[in-house]
Amino acid sequence: MTLTATTPFQAPTTLPFAALGEREWLLSCHCAGPVTDLLKDQGWDVVSDLDSNVHCSSPDHRVYVGFLPESPAAARGELWHITVKGTGGTAAWHQSFGPNTPAHAVAGFLAALISSPSRYCTCI
């Protein structure tokens, strides 16, 4: 799958299964693989440290994604950290996900962020 900043997000028009009642929801996947694979494919820097934490930086260095299982924040329930900087270099916003959030869900969040072609919402 290739995502670029010029590819707008589009929700599927039909679902690949008959009914929601027949669907099995993703409940586990607590490794960094789905996220790091996505980000590497987008040209992000991905580095693991000696403590098994993974640090990812966007090509413009304005977005940081951390998978931090060995950090003090993980003990407080924050496994994933995403920070986006504004054009001036200051933090614009931050999102964290806990250890019970499947990595595929975090990857989906990041795919939507990456595919947004503009920093402005179309409703503004």
pLDDT digits (tens, 9 = 90+) for 86-95: 888 899 999 9
β-sheet with 54-57: strand ranges across = 45-48, 54-57, 63-67, 80-85, 91-97
Q: What is the pLDDT of residue 124?
A: 63
Are 9 and 116 a contacting pair, CB within 8 Å? yes
Task: For CA atoms 2, 38, 44, 99, give the dihedral sign.
Answer: positive
Whole-angstrom distance, CA of residue 78 vs CA of residue 25: 22
pLDDT digits (tens, 9 = 90+) for 4-56: 454 555 656 666 666 666 667 777 777 899 999 999 999 999 999 999 999 99
Q: Which of the four pLDDT bands, split at 50, 70 and 90, describes residue 1? A: very low
